[in-house]
């Protein structure tokens, strides 16, 4: 849900700095036509949490998109800095003394700009330049350019990052295609990590992620494959997953089975675990396991005005003696079209009997 609203003075000045020109439009004119969208989420994690971690998880994101003319827009995105509630960050007091703290101490949340770019769009061609999203990362960003063009049912994408938060000094070039052929959809991304002249220890790497999806009767079927090869890795990494979403009357069933290559399945540029080919929940993360496989099963049903979901994952390896298993029970209830509350019980390591309860709410605008 997006609203066109008046911004705070600080946000307005930021947008005006990107979208105003030498003719120096007034501030009131600069903020006209600016769309603001985003979300605010707060999760209480006091129960069952270690005192070494934060007692809450706060996620805030706001995107400001301003129209410059018929073809050009400017975009700024603000994001809460501490995505991981165990993150440390430095703060200064009034005397200039620096100290290190975590979100556990309930200090003011730090916000940062993680997107700032211009976009040109005309006749199916779209190009963005500036601080843009980095492909095959967990929401990472980089300085560079991307271009996309639609050709019937296919959209081709290409881009180049000359500096990235995920790779530091290494450049990244990428290509992709999204489209469909009959009842089959597909999504393909290839990225090349280049050696850096500024870092003699850097190594090159190639990344390939592919998805094929279709529907059979009421079931939605997905097949995902990913790989990472090159000098940047001690051993080549690969992973594949077959998953299905199947409505069964009042219950919706989600099932998945994934397998790593013999040397592991860490196939993201930034080493994160969010590849679509991966299975990850709680303490179970297939991508980091060697010569392993995982299964996932979840059942969801309507209860009162909300939805209850019970999920279970298990990872087995030819090397590890014991399976890694996680169970999670979630109940989410929408209060309005853009506000919901939720509760989770998660036993994130069944073999060690480690669990936690979280309560939260999320507002989208």
pLDDT at site 312? 96
Long-range contacts of 304-312 (CB under 8 A, 24+ apart): 304/333, 305/333, 305/334, 306/331, 306/332, 306/333, 306/334, 307/331, 307/332, 307/333, 311/254, 311/281
Q: HSE (CB half, 13 Å, CA atoms) of 76?
A: 19
Residue 215 region by backbone torsions, left for phi larger than 0, else alpha for psi between -120 and 50, else beta: beta
Structural contact between residues 230 and 172, judged by C-beta atoms closer than 8 angstroms: no
pLDDT in tens, the chain (365 residues): 444 333 444 444 444 444 444 444 565 665 667 899 999 998 887 555 444 455 678 889 999 999 999 999 999 999 987 655 544 445 555 555 555 554 445 567 788 999 999 999 999 999 999 999 999 999 999 999 999 999 999 999 999 999 877 666 789 999 999 999 999 999 999 999 988 766 666 678 999 999 999 999 999 999 999 999 987 777 899 999 999 999 999 999 999 999 999 899 999 999 899 999 999 998 789 998 888 999 999 999 999 999 999 999 999 987 765 678 999 999 999 999 999 999 999 887 666 667 788 899 999 99
CB atoms inside a 10 Å sphere around CB 164? 23
CB-based contacts of 93, cutoff 8 Å, min separation 6:
99
CB atoms inside a 10 Å sphere around CB 289? 21
Q: Which residues of 75-86 are buried (b: 16+ CB within 10 A; e: fewer)?
A: bbbbbbebeebe
Q: In angstroms, what is the C-alpha Rg of the chain?
A: 23
Structural contact between residues 141 and 165, judged by C-beta atoms closer than 8 angstroms: yes
pLDDT at site 4? 38
- DSSP state for residue 75 in the 8-state scheme: E
pLDDT at site 357? 86
pLDDT at site 7? 42
Structural contact between residues 269 and 172, judged by C-beta atoms closer than 8 angstroms: yes
CB-based contacts of 338, cutoff 8 Å, min separation 6:
1, 363, 364, 365
User: Among 52, 122, 115, which Cα is nearest to 79's?
Assistant: 115
Cα–Cα distance between 130 and 75 in angstroms, integer? 10
- DSSP structure string for 199-223: BTT---EEEEEEEEEEEETTEEEEE
- DSSP state for residue 168 in the 8-state scheme: B
Structural contact between residues 131 and 116, judged by C-beta atoms closer than 8 angstroms: yes
Cα–Cα distance between 193 and 204 in angstroms, integer? 5
pLDDT at site 54? 54
> The tokens of 140 are what?
């990472």
């Amino acid at each position: 849900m997006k609203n066109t609203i008046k911004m705070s003075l600080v946000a307005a000045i930021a947008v005006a700095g990107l979208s105003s020109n030498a003719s120096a439009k007034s501030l009131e004119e600069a903020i006209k036509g600016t769309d603001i969208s985003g979300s605010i989420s707060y999760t209480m994690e006091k129960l069952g949490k270690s005192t070494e971690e934060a007692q809450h998880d706060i996620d805030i994101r706001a995107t400001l998109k301003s129209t410059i003319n018929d073809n050009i827009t400017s975009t700024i995105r603000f994001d809460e800095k501490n995505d991981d509630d165990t993150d440390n960050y430095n703060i200064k007091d009034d005397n200039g003394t620096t100290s290190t703290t975590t979100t556990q101490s309930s200090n003011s949340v730090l916000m940062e700009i993680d997107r700032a770019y211009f976009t040109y769009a005309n006749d199916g061609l779209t190009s963005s330049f500036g601080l843009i999203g980095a492909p095959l990362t967990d929401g990472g960003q980089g300085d560079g350019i991307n271009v996309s063009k639609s050709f019937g049912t296919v959209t081709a994408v290409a881009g180049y990052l000359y500096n990235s938060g995920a790779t530091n000094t290494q450049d990244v070039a990428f290509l992709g295609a999204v489209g469909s052929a009959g009842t089959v959809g597909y999504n393909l991304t290839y990225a090349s990590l280049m050696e850096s002249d500024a870092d003699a220890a850097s190594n090159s790497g190639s990344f390939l992620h592919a998805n094929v999806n279709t529907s059979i009767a009421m079931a939605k079927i997905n097949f995902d494959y990913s790989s990472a090869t090159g000098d940047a890795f001690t051993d080549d990494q690969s992973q594949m997953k077959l998953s299905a979403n199947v409505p069964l009357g009042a219950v919706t069933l989600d099932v998945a089975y994934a397998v790593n290559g013999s040397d592991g399945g860490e196939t993201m540029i930034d080493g994160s675990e969010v590849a679509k080919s991966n299975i990850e929940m709680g303490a179970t993360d297939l991508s980091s396991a060697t010569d392993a496989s995982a299964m996932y099963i979840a059942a969801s049903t309507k209860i009162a005005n909300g939805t209850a979901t019970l999920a279970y994952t298990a990872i087995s390896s030819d090397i590890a003696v014991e399976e890694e298993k996680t169970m999670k029970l979630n109940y989410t209830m929408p209060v309005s079209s853009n506000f919901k509350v939720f509760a989770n019980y998660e036993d994130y390591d069944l073999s060690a009997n480690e669990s936690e309860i979280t309560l939260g709410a999320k507002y989208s605008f």
